[in-house]
Amino acid sequence: MIELRDVSKTVTSGSEPLTILHPLTLQIPHGQFVAIVGPSGSGKSTLLGLIAGLDAPSSGSVLIDTVDITKLDEDRLAKLRGEKIGFVFQFFHLIPSLTAYENVAVPMEIAGVTDVRSRTERLLEEVGLTGRSHHYPSQLSGGEQQRVALARALANNPPIVLADEPTGNLDSANGRHIMELLRSIHAARGTTIVLVTHDAELAAMADARLVLRDGRVTENTLIHREPRSHDERLPQPTP
């Protein structure tokens, strides 16, 4: 479960402090598919970054499965991300010097997984890129790159996937493809998915909606419910 307690974020813009996110408390139970929506600058990506531990809140605490991640140092945070959180970015952020295969394999290698090859191949198959595994990011289309990024996010079969405008940089067909993949992952694995978007149509595909405006929550349709069982079809990482 993801839990935010009075989390806020203030940055300095020029010499003035600027509050991007006003104090916010919320819980996202296991297995939820949540869409965070709102216009540009409303604090969506900031909120996502705080949940992933990519950024530290100015106040409050973020708990992932009861662990307060604001108290962890960089290296422990990295480890936690490696095990529990997959991240999909709007601009893909693949490592340009690695092939599609290698980009997907890296998180497993960091975690010390043994059967990297078969798992990587299966993940690439799952996102429909079997034939493209030895291509570099520069040789892939935007949609393909985002599918590699998605496979990478799923590498260690994390219970949580955070997606920051994953379709924002794609044409509508590719965007739809990514959304379908996200939905099928959610359905098949019971993964908690937090999706940031400003596209109402995409947001409608989620179970719940969190609407942000100027750093404040203006709508929250999150309901607390029992999590769906975590799908075991894919082998668990064996550290």
Partner 1 sequence: MMFVLRMAVRETRASWRRLLFFFVCIAVGVAAIVALRSVIQSVRGVVNSEARALVGADVVISTTRDWPDEARQKIERHLATAGAFARTETTETPTMVRPADPATRIAKVAELRAVQAMYPLYGTILLQGGQTYSHSLLEQHGALVRPELLSALQLKVGDQIAVGQTMFTIRGVIAREPGGGPGGFSLGPRIYIDYADLASTGLLSFGSRAQRLMFVRVPDSRVADLMTALRRDLRQDFINSRSYRSREDQVGRDFDRAEDYLSLVGLVIVILGGIAVSSVTRVFILQKIRSIAVLKCIGARSAQIITVYILQVLVLGLAGSLLGVAIARAAVAAIPLALASSSTSILTEAHYGVTWSAAAQGIAIGVLVSLLFSVVPLLQVRFIKPSLLLRDETARRRRDWLGMVALVVVSLALVAVTAWQASSLNVGIVVCAGFAGLAFVLQLAGRGLVAAVAPLANAKSFPLRHAVLHLSRPGNQTRVILLAVGLGAFFIVGIRSLQASLLEEFSIQSSDASPDMFLLDIQRGQAGAVRAFLGDPSHGSGPFQLIPVLRARVVGVSGREQNLNGADQVREKGVSLGREFTLTYRDHLEPNEKVIEGAFWNSPSTEPEVSVERQIAERARLHVGDTMQFDILGRTIEPRITSIRNVEWRESRNGGFVFVFRPGPLDQAPQTYVSPLKGPTDPVARGQFQHDLVERFPNVSVIDFHDVVERIRDVMSKVTLAITVVGGLVLFSGALILIGAVAMTKFQRVYEAAVFKTLGANTRAIARMLFFEYGVLGSLAGVIGSLGAVVLTWAVSRYALEIPWRIFVTEHVAGVILTAILVAAIGVFSSLDVLRNKPLATLRAE
Q: Look at phi and psi of residue 81 and say left if phi exceeds 0, alpha if psi is from -120 to 50, else beta.
A: alpha
| Angle between helix 142-153 and 100-111 (nearest 10) | 10
- 75 near partner 1, rule: CB under 8 A: yes
Binding segment toward partner 1, per CB under 8 A, in 21-29, 49-57, 117-125, 227-235: 49-57
Distances 71 to 74, 233, 239 between C-alpha atoms, Å: 10, 34, 24
Sheet of strand 160-164: strand arrangement: 85-88, 160-164, 192-197, 33-37, 208-213, 216-220
Q: Which stretch binds partner 1 (CB under 8 A): 28-36, 41-49, 127-135, 173-181?
A: 41-49
Q: How far is the CB of 19 from partner 1 (least distance, A)?
A: 15
β-pair type (208-213, 33-37): parallel
Identify which of 159, 204, 208 has the alpha carbon closest to the alpha carbon of residue 185. Answer: 159
Between CA 3 and CA 31 the distance in angstroms is 14
Q: List the one residue from 18, 67, 78, 204 that touches partner 1 (CB under 8 A).
A: 78
Our finding on whether 164 is near partner 1 (CB under 8 A) is yes
Say how far apart CA 28 and CA 36 lie, in whole Å.
12
Nearest distance in Å: CB 29, partner 1: 24
Q: What would the x/- binding string for partner 1 be over residues 104 to 123, using CB under 8 A?
A: --xx-xxxx-----------
Cα-based angle 151, 169, 26 (whole degrees, multiple of 5)? 70
* Contact flag: residue 174 with partner 1 (CB under 8 A): no
Closer by beta carbon to partner 1, 29 or else 119: 119
**Candidate ranges 51-59, 123-131, 186-194, 222-230; the one touching partner 1 (CB under 8 A):** 51-59
Nearer of residues 24 and 29 to partner 1, judged by Cβ: 24
Residue 48 binds partner 1, judged by CB under 8 A: yes
Please report the DSSP string for 71-128 in residue order: GS-HHHHHHHHHHHEEEE-TT----TTS-HHHHHHHHHHHHT-S-HHHHHHHHHHHTT
Comparing CB distances to partner 1, the nearer of 31 and 49 is 49
Of the ranges 23-31, 58-66, 93-101, 179-187, which one interacts with partner 1 (CB under 8 A)? Answer: 93-101
- Answer yes or no whether residue 45 interacts with partner 1 by CB under 8 A: yes
At closest approach, how far in Å is the CB of 216 from partner 1?
19
- The residues binding partner 1 (CB under 8 A) are 11, 45-46, 48-49, 52, 54-55, 74-75, 78-79, 81-83, 87, 89, 93-98, 102, 106-107, 109-112, 138, 152, 155-156, 164
